[in-house]
Amino acid sequence: MRATASRPTDPDTIESRVSALIAEMSLPEKIGQMTQLNASEGYPPDYLGDRLRAGMVGSVLNQVDVHTVNELQRIAVEESRLGIPLLVGRDVIHGFKTVLPIPIGQAATWNPELVKEGARVAAREAAAAGVNWTFAPMIDISRDPRWGRIAESPGECVLLASRLAVAMVEGFQGEDVSAPDSIAACAKHFAGYGAVESGRDYATTNIPDTKLRNVYLQPFKAAVDAGVMTVMTSFSDLNGVPPTGNEWLLRDVLRDEWGFEGLVVSDWDSVRQLQVHGLTEDDKASASEAAIAGVDMEMAGDAYFNHLATLVEEGTVSIDIIDAAVANILRAKLRLGLFEQPYTKPDDLPAFSNEIALQTAKTTALQSVVLLKNDDGTLPLSSEALSSVALIGPLADAAYEQLGTWIFDGNVDLSVTPLQSIRQLVGDDVDVRYVRAMQNSRSRASAAFDDAVAAAEQSDAAVLFLGEESILSGEAHSRADISLPGDQAELVRRIRQTGKPVVAVILAGRPLTLSNIVDEVDAILYAWHPGTMGGPAIAELLFGIESPSGKLPATFPRVVGQIPIYYSQKNGGKPPTRDTVVHIDEIDTFAPQTSLGMTSFHLDTCFTPLFPFGHGLSYASFEYRGIRVSAGEIRLGSTVTISAELRNAGDTAAEEVVQLYTRDLVASITRPVRELKGFRRVRLEPGETRTVEFELHTDELSFYGRDMKLTVEPGLFHAWIGGSSDTALRTEFRIVDL
Ligand code: BGC
C-alpha cells in the first residue's frame, strides 16, 4: 500500500494546513486558540457560546457530558469564522468511569504492558465522553511521601518512572492518535514538582542542574521520545524561575535539545501565578513572560486573553512567538483528526466499564498490592482451615475511599469492596464478622473498639483494613506526620492483645511510616488505593488464589525525619555501617564524651528504611543465585549481559519482579550507590528454576556530567540482581575505551 500522502494526519499535509490556517487568522483568533476555558464554570448565559462563535477559545476542560461537548464542538466548527475544533481536556489520571489503582499503585506492578493497557481502557472510556486530551501521565519523580501528589506519581526511581511514562503515553495515544478511541496525552508537571520542599504542595524546588537532568527530567525525555503530544508546566518554583516562565526549560531543553514539536500548556492559572511567585509585577507581565518562555496555551486564566494583543502591538511579544504557539495547537488538533471528525459518537465506542475494563482494573490491582511482611506464613488465609474471620476497620467497606484521589468521573457504584468480595469468596465456609470500629481513618473515638476486640476474640484470625481515606492524599493534601492517622495504631494494639493472628491490609495514597504497628501485626498487605476492583483483588490475595507480586516503587521510611530517603542516594564520605551506628539509648551518659560513630546516620533511628525500594514478598519462596556477567571487560558502545538464576523453592506458582541494579564506582561527578537498570516480571511454577538475563548497553550507564553533556565514563561497575534494591548478589565489569 502506498504511503498515505493525502491522509489528513500526514505530517506534510498537517504542516501545510497549519500554515494556511495561520495565514487566515486574525490576532484575536490566534490568541483565542492560546486560551483554555473551564467549561464547567457558571459563566453568564451565552458567554461560552459567544466566545466560541468569535473563534476566541482553543480548548475547554472539565466538560464530560458528551452532548454538551458535541454542542460546544458544533458551535466552534459550524458557527465560528474558521471552524477550528476544540481540544477537550480532562484529568483522566487513573481511569475514567472504571477506576484503576492510583498511579503509585500502578507503579508497584512494575508492569509497563499492564499500565499501558490501563491507559487504553481509560482513553476509550474518556473518548466516549468527548474528551480528546488527558492531563496525564503525571511523571514527577517523588522522593517525599509527605507530598500528597506522590499518589499520582510513578514513585522515586528514574528508570521505573521513565518506563511507565512511555507505557502511559502509548496507552492513551494508541497506535493511531486520530483513532476515535485515542486521546492526546500530557506529560506533567514539567519540571521538578516532585522535589517541593518538605513535601508541601506548590512549594519551592531547588534542584542542581546535574540532578535535574539525571533524575527529574528523565521521564519527560522518555515521554517526548515516545511521542507525547503535550506537556504541562509545573506550579512550583524551579531554582528561582517557575517553569511557566522558564525559557531555558521550555525552549532550550524541551524544544531545542529534545526536539519536542507538541503543545505546551500551563497548569491551572499558573501564568497569573508568576506574579504571586514574585517573578512579574502584574498579569500583563506574566502573559509576556509565559509566552516568551514558550507556554502555548494558558489553562483556566485570562492573562493571555486580556493582554497578549497589546503585548504584540507594543512589540514586547513578537508575532512569531504567537504564530509558533498557534501552530503547536493546530498541529495537535490536526493530528487528533478533529477537523475531520470533531464529534463523538459514544455508540461507536466500547461501553463504559465493560468486561475488559473491569478485568484490567482487577489485574492491575492484583499486581499492585505489595506484601510487606508475612511472619510464619500467616498469609494466605485458608478458607478450609479457618472457620471464622473478623474483618475490622474503616476501609473494609469504603466504596468511595478505595478509589483514591483524582476520580472526577469514577463510578463509585461500581466499586467492589474487600468486605463484599471476601464474603462472596468464602461463602458459607467461613463466618465473617465485620466491625467498622472507626468512622473514618482519622477518627479519635474508640468506643467501638470493644466490639472489634470481641469479634477478633471470637474468630480464628483478624484482618484490619487501615490506612488513609482518599482525601488525605492528592493535590494540596500533603501531610507532615505520615503515620496511620487517628486512633488506628491503638486499634491495632487492642486487636493484638487478643493473641489471634493479625493481618493488616493498608489502603493509602502514599508510603506511610508504619514503625509503630509493624511489630504488632503478623502480615501486611499494602494495597494503595486499589480502585474499582480493589475488593476482589485483595480477597484473592488474602485467600491465596493469587500470590502478591507488587514491589515498592518508593522507599518506606521508619520515621518522617529520615526523609528524603531513597535507594539511589549518594555514598557520601562517611557512609554508615551496622558497626558504626549508635542508638541514642546506647549512649553512656556518664562516660566522657566520645565520638558517636562519626558516620552519616540519625542517633534515634536506624540508618536503613523500614522497607526498601523494590521490596515485596510472595507466597512462593524465590531464591537468587549464580549471578554472571558475559564479559569482565566491555568496550564503550557495546553490550554486556548480566544474568542470575531464580528458583521458586516454594509450593505456589507465583510472579516475581527481577531487578538489575548497577553502580558506577568512580566518575567525574559522584554517582548513586545503586541505580535500577532493568526489571522483568517472570512467573515460576513450584520447583522451577529460570536464568533471567539483562542486556545492558553502555549508553544505559550514561549520565550528565559537570559540563551538562551526556557521557559514559570507562571504569569499574558493580551490578546486582535480586528481588529488591537491597539485594546482595553482586558481580562486576569494567568499561574500557579501546
Ligand atoms: C493540577 C493539574 C491538573 C489541572 C487541571 C491543577 O490544579 O495541578 O495536574 O491537570 O489542575 O485540573
Tens digit of pLDDT for each residue in 291-340?
Answer: 999 999 999 989 999 999 999 999 999 999 999 999 999 999 999 999 99
Q: Which of 92, 207, 187 is nearest to 140 (CA)?
A: 187
Question: Residue with the nearest Cα to atom 2 of ligand 1?
Answer: 267
Omega of the bond leading into 137 within 30 degrees of 0 (cis): yes
For residues 353 and 95, the answer to whether their CB atoms sit within 8 Å is no
What is the distance in A from the centroid of ligand 1 to the CA of 514? 30
| CA 88 – CA 61 distance, rounded (Å) | 6
The rounded distance, in Å, linking the Cα atoms of 24 and 474 is: 43
Q: Contact 388/431 with Cβ under 8 angstroms?
A: yes
User: What gap in Å lies between CA 302 and CA 318, rounded to an integer?
Assistant: 19
Q: Residue 268 C-alpha to ligand 1 middle, in angstroms?
A: 6
Assign 592 a pLDDT band (cuts: 50, 70, 90).
Answer: low
The pLDDT value recorded for residue 594 is: 65
DSSP 545: S
Query: Does the annotation mark 267 as catalytic?
Result: yes
Mean pLDDT of the chain: 96
Helices (H), ranges, 235-341: 247, 273-277, 283-293, 303-314, 319-335
pLDDT digits (tens, 9 = 90+) for 597-614: 789 999 999 999 999 999
How do beta strands 639-648 and 689-697 pair?
A: antiparallel
With 0-12 / 13-18 / 19 or more C-beta atoms within 10 angstroms meaning exposed / middle / buried, residue 576 is middle
Range name among 32-46, 199-213, 627-641 with the lowest pLDDT average: 32-46
Ligand 1 touching residue 135 (CB < 6 A): yes
Q: Which atom of ligand 1 is nearest to the CA of 188?
A: 9
Closest residue to atom 7 of ligand 1, CA basis:
268
Ligand 1 centre to CA of 202 (Å) is 12
SS3 (DSSP) at 487: coil
- Taking Cα atoms as reference points, which of 178, 122, 119 lies closest to residue 331? 178
Q: Whose CA is nearest to atom 4 of ligand 1?
A: 268
Q: Does the structure show a pLDDT above 90 at 708?
A: yes
Calpha distance 141→156 (Å, rounded): 5
Kindly give, in sequence order, each residue whose CB lies less than 8 Å from that of residue 2, ignoring residues fewer than 6 positions away.
none
pLDDT tens-place string over residues 8-47: 678 889 999 999 999 999 999 999 999 999 999 888 888 9
The verdict on the CB of residue 267 being under 6 Å from ligand 1 is yes
Q: Scanning the structure block, which residue is given the C-alpha cell 502573559?
A: 287
Rounded CA-CA distance 150/406 in Å is 12
Distance CA 524, CA 521 (A): 7
Report in angstroms the alpha-carbon separations of 313 from 28, 248, 608, 704, 724: 12, 25, 60, 42, 59
* Centre of ligand 1 from the C-alpha of residue 177, in Å: 23
SS3 569: coil
Q: For residue 146, what are the contacts with CB-CB under 8 A and spacing of at least 6? A: 198, 199, 200, 478, 479, 480, 482, 510, 560, 563
Which of 172, 473, 475, 477 for a ligand 1 pocket mutation test, highest count of atoms within 8 Å of Cβ? 475
Q: Report which protein residue has its CA nearest ligand 1's atom 5.
A: 268
For 410-445, the pLDDT digits (tens) are 999 999 999 999 999 999 999 999 999 999 999 999
Ligand 1, atom 8, residue with closest C-alpha? 267
Of 144, 237, 267, 296, which residue is the catalytic one? 267
237 lines ligand 1 (CB under 6 A): no
The closest alpha carbon to 273, from 308, 300, 309, belongs to 300
Here the cell at position 515 is: 514503625
Residue 234 CA, ligand 1 centroid: distance in Å: 9
Q: Which three cell numbers stand for residue 425?
A: 469468596
- Do the beta carbons of residue 332 and residue 230 sit within 8 Å? yes
Atom of ligand 1 nearest to the CA of 235: 8
pLDDT of residue 212: 98
Give residue 284 CA to ligand 1 midpoint distance, Å.
23
Reading the block at residue 328, the C-alpha cell is 503547536
655 lines ligand 1 (CB under 6 A): no
At residue 664, φ and ψ (nearest 5 deg) are: -90, 110
Residues 635-650: what's their mean pLDDT?
98
Q: Give per-residue pLDDT as tens, 90-145.
A: 999 999 999 999 999 999 999 999 999 999 999 999 999 999 999 999 999 999 99
**Is the pLDDT assigned to residue 596 strictly greater than 80?**
no
